[in-house]
Structures are given as structure tokens and as C-alpha cells.
Chain A
């Protein structure tokens, strides 16, 4: 499986846009990029997945450049409730066994 690298932590003020970048240099052709969010004392929650270019949903946007060696999760206008750990995963399509790394701990400051 492709190894991912993302910042350990980030701080942001409320109302700002937050971009979390994940590096995955050895991503394979059939790999998908998936992000999970984990609030304190809860299980992880799937937030977005993409293969290439841009994907947007009601929670976030995911930007993937043409070479797919990195991806950026964008959270628009964060609030205190967005304080969480964000995990980047790169997983082959249909593959079930995944590895959650250390994730990025986002702290939103009032």
C-alpha cells in the first residue's frame, strides 16, 4: 500500500480556510485517496474520496494534481467544531484492509 505523509498538527482561527496536504509518492494506478475525520471520543468518519482532479461535497473539497503524488483536503471557513484529527488514506479500489497513520490534528482557535 502507498505510504502517506501529512503534517502532525495544524492550528487555524475560526472562519479561515484550512488546507491539509498529504503526500503519497508511490500511489498506484488503482488507488483512491480517502480522508477520514475523527472527533475526540468518537470513531473516525469518512468525509471525502477522490481519484483525480477535484471533488467537493458539503463538508470539504479534495484537490488532486495530475500526477496524483499528493492531495489537499480543503475545509472552508472552519469553526470550533472542526477541531479533529484528519487522516489521509490511499487504498486500492475495493481493498478492505486499511492503515490509519497518525493523521493531522487540527486545532481551531476562537
Chain B
């Protein structure tokens, strides 16, 4: 398997523009996670899905952020309008449930977002 795929790898945009980040989870995984990482706040969980349904979006910073998972192989994280403080690395991860122990999460390479 190719692992978790994210696009774009780098995004530079201007304040006020809409930004869409994309993620393809590992085939067969039923959980998908979106994280954001900054120097100041570390790695934060924004939202996660189970079987394409959002389970917990308490980490989404504000209404400017939205995430969708229209099918098992694709998810988007959208920021509209973007602000300089949204600059960060955004990671997508997926995992497979059904195990009794903790379920390993597989992370994508991340999207480095810079909002000018």
C-alpha cells in the first residue's frame, strides 16, 4: 500500500483565500484523523471520522475550518477564509479498528501551509 497520501505537500496562499487540503487514507482503514502541528501548540487533533462520519470535531479551532469525508477513500479539510495564524503543518492519519489494544495510527507526509 502507498500509505496515507496528502496533497498538496506545500501550499502558500494569501490571507482571506480559501484553502483545501486533501487526504487519501490507507485502503480498508475505517478511522481518519486530521491534525495540525505548530511550534507553539505542538500536535493537535482537529477532527476524526469513523466510517466517513465525523465523530469528534471539538479540536476544530473555529467556524472557518470544515472537514468532509464523502467516501472511504477521500477527505478534505477546508479553511475559509484563511488567516496567517493558520500557518502550520497539517497531517492526516488513518487507522483500523477492531483490535483490543490501541490502534496504531498511520500518518501522511503532511501539508505545510503558509498564509501570508
Contacts and interface: CB of A to CB of B under 8 A. Distances in A.
A110 interface: no
B42 A101 contact: yes
A96 B48 contact: yes
Nearest to B104: A46
A43 B109 CA distance: 6
A51 B109 CA distance: 29
Contacts of B102: 32, 34, 49, 89, 91-95
Contacts of A89: 102
Given A43-B91, A99-B45, A94 B100 contact: yes
Interface size class of A (residues with CB under 8 A): 20 to 34
Interface in A17-66: 32, 34, 41-46, 49, 51
Nearest to B44: A100
Interface in B50-78: 50, 55-56
Given A43-B109, A94-B102, A94-B103, A100 B95 contact: no
Given A43-B93, A43-B108, A43-B109, A96 B50 contact: yes
Of the listed residues B43, B95, B102, B104, the one surrounded by the most CB atoms of chain A closer than 10 A to its CB is: B102
A51 B101 contact: yes
Given A46-B106, A89-B102, 15 more contacts: A43-B4, A44-B105, A91-B102, A92-B102, A93-B99, A94-B100, A94-B101, A96-B48, A96-B50, A97-B45, A97-B48, A98-B105, A99-B45, A100-B35, A100-B42
